[in-house]
Amino acid sequence: MPGTSKAVSTVTSLRRALVGFCTLAASMASIPANVHAQGLPIIRDAEIEALLQDYARPIFNAAGFGGGRVTVRIVNNDSFNAFVLDGANVFVHTGTLMQAKTPNEVIGVIAHESGHIAGGHMAALRSRIAKDQTRVLLAQVLGLGAMVAGGLSGGTNGRETAQGGQALMQGGTNIVMKGLLAERRSQESAADQAGLKYLTATKQSGRGMLDTFERFKQQEYLSADMQDPFVRSHPLSVERLARLSALVAASPYVNRKDPPSLQLRHDLMRAKLSGYLEAPDTVFNRYPASDKSLPARYARAIATYFKGGPGALKSAIQQIEGMIRENPDYPYFYELESDLMMRSGKLKQAVPDLRQALKLAPASPLIEVELASALQGSGDKDDLKESIDLLRKSLIVDENGKAYRLLANAYYKQGKGPQADAMTAQAYFYEGNVKQAQIFAKRAHARLRAGSPEWLKNDDIINYKPQT
């Protein structure tokens, strides 16, 4: 029938447009509650996570969801973006962390995203999209019916009826899209105001938030494929920017600067990300040898190792040890030295540095996992037992796929097959591979003590049914 394929195409296109606002949210909806950010390139780093927790903690407390209820997670992506998908996570791109020149800029972004969480915006948007899809489909059906009727009746009246059907379809689409965009703009404005309220409550400036939005306002004139995702997901307007500017200026803390110690940690974070994520030559250009600052030396030490060649490890270690002599209480220089050692297969040599890093940062589950990994390389039974203790302790406060796999490996070495299979099942489940998780859970289930914690967790995995 004439026009049928076009109508179906219009429905499909609109559905994609509507769902586009929550594509990531939809992909997350099918993930088990204990599986973090499946499908996103999440990176873990003890130093950066500790810094982001310090940025976020006062904001989260001011927003009413402190106590570890919400976590800041790092997405390995070089574009500037931050977003929320639920009420438990704020996702920040590495590009945001590297481009933000001050802690206040990142804190402002976290405050804005916290406004979205506190306002329940993602849940409201998903509900709106579900309703609007129904409305649009109804309009499409009515429009298609009119077009079919016009095609059957023929003549002038038939053509007019068909044209009316097309107008009905197009009008329904436009009305829904305008309504959805209006709601998005309203949510963004509400998140601005909430974020500024949290910044004021914590006696911090809103200038970082304003600087971020002003920097990206000009990108709205670029084509969508050239814009940072932040621009597309946080639509701006002249009125919104003017209102935000006035609110920032009215704050008694508008001119408050970040403490020098926090700025240094921020600069070290940016240097570390550059060293690990950028090509060595790019790092050396960004941090030339003439720059004797601690962050520049940090970045160059990492880049020296990844540049490779004869003596690369030795040269990198010498640079790191120079920083350690000047800053003996900074745990993450020891952690870096141990990481380069482990990457070079020198697990035993990494242990002393990791012990010192953990002594200086005793509440770091990620360093506990790294120390456990290094200890397993010694082949010593006592080291193996210590690694198990470290891993079990780390998993109490921080689920980690690597920790589960290392624990499985340790149990296999001890001849504890059922416990090893149970930890492998937990690893797969955490990573979102439910099918493999259930295979290992069933293998372990019959041999575990009924009612034990491992047995109960495996039972949950076996009976888990992914959401559709």
pLDDT tens string 387-424? 999 999 999 999 889 999 999 999 999 999 999 999 99
Number of domains in the chain: 1
Instruction: Give domain status of residue 373, yes or no.
Output: no
Task: Report d(CA 237, CA 386) in Å as an integer.
Answer: 57
Q: What percent of the chain has pLDDT over 70?
A: 72
**At a CB cut-off of 8 Å and minimum separation 6, what does 174 contact?**
none
The pLDDT value recorded for residue 432 is 87
Mean pLDDT lowest among 169-173, 223-227, 301-305, 324-328: 169-173
pTM listed for this prediction:
0.79
The helix/strand count (H/E) of the chain reads as 22, 4
Distance between first and last Cα of the chain: 34
Q: Distance between CA 342 and CA 362 in Å, rounded?
A: 21
pLDDT digit string (tens) for 182-200?
A: 556 668 888 999 999 999 9
**Between these two residues, 269 and 42, which has the higher pLDDT value?**
269
Structure confidence at residue 130 (pLDDT): 55
- DSSP H stretches of helix in 361-446: 365-376, 381-397, 401-413, 417-430, 434-445
- The answer to whether residue 215 scores a pLDDT higher than 60 is yes
Q: What is the mean pLDDT of residues 284-313?
A: 97
166 found inside a domain = yes
Give CA–CA dist 389/211, Å, rounded. 46
Q: pLDDT confidence of 97, banded at 50, 70, 90?
A: very high
Q: What is the pLDDT of residue 214?
A: 83
Domain assignment present for residue 127? The answer is: yes
Q: What is the pLDDT of residues 14-29, one digit of tens each?
A: 333 333 333 232 222 2
| Domain-located, residue 459 | no
The boundaries of the domain holding residue 208 are 1-259
Q: Quick check: is 350 in a domain?
A: no
